[in-house]
Amino acid sequence: MTTEPHPVTGRVWVDIVRADGPLQLADITLPDGAMIKPGDVVRWDGLEARSEPPFVEQWTLSDTTSRTLLRHITAERYARFFPDHLDKDPQAVLERHERSLCLVAAHEVHAMFEREERRFKSYMLFDLPGLGTFDETPVTDLAWRALGQEWMSAEETNELAFDPDDMQARFGPVYLVLGLQPNQNLLVRGVHTVPAYAAKIRPTQL
């Protein structure tokens, strides 16, 4: 999100994409070699507006795009950010497909992880009051996927699942960034907790 206010989403969303395929790790890596992480405030220069409905939030990387870390928000501000910026009209994304990103507070969250040979999968099942239950929604959040891999390695298992009681005990409230795919299917683009969970992203596991 930018610093520009928005009456429905709290702040204006920016979804940074590549014109030639998925984002690469280099695209979210700062000049000092550190990966951009939740809570970082980053200035992006050289983005090009794309905004093809419903993906009105998209901006495309160019050859001249640069990124500069300005600061990292405090733990107190991080804790306030998510409840203060919940989407007031998630149906615009989930039902009407007028835009492609929303921040929601998830309830009754189940988390599943699976490893099949070299393929790693992460899913969530969750309720949104007034909007129903969302089954086995794929998770693309790199930090959450890395945390799942850490858990699976510690348990020496290829399948791991957490029910709502497990999730509540480990994390408390869970906030999700939900996003539409080009085929209109839903993804969990971001998994956020307060306080933030810690996970080390290892490029060899992605």
Residue 206 has pLDDT above 60, yes or no: no
Would you call 77 helix, strand, or coil by DSSP? helix
pLDDT tens-digit profile of 149-177? 999 999 999 999 999 999 999 999 999 99
Q: Considering its fold, how many domains does the chain have in total? A: 1
Q: Which residue range(s) make up the domain with 68? A: 5-205
pLDDT tens-digit profile of 21-59? 888 889 999 999 988 988 899 999 999 998 789 999 999
Give the single-character DSSP code of 34: P
Would you call 152 helix, strand, or coil by DSSP? helix
| Rounded (10°) CA dihedral 202, 199, 42, 66 | 0
* Helix residue spans in 113-159 (DSSP H): 142-155
For 70-89, b/e burial (b = at least 16 CB within 10 A) is eeeeeeeebbebbeeeebee
Q: Which residues contact 189 (CB under 8 A, 6 or more apart)?
A: 101, 140, 141, 177, 178, 179
* pTM confidence score: 0.93
pLDDT tens-digit profile of 55-91? 999 999 988 999 999 999 999 999 999 999 999 999 9
Q: Euclidean distance between the first and final Cα of the chain, in Å?
A: 25
Residue 55 structure tokens: 């993906």
pLDDT tens-digit profile of 124-143? 999 999 999 999 999 999 99
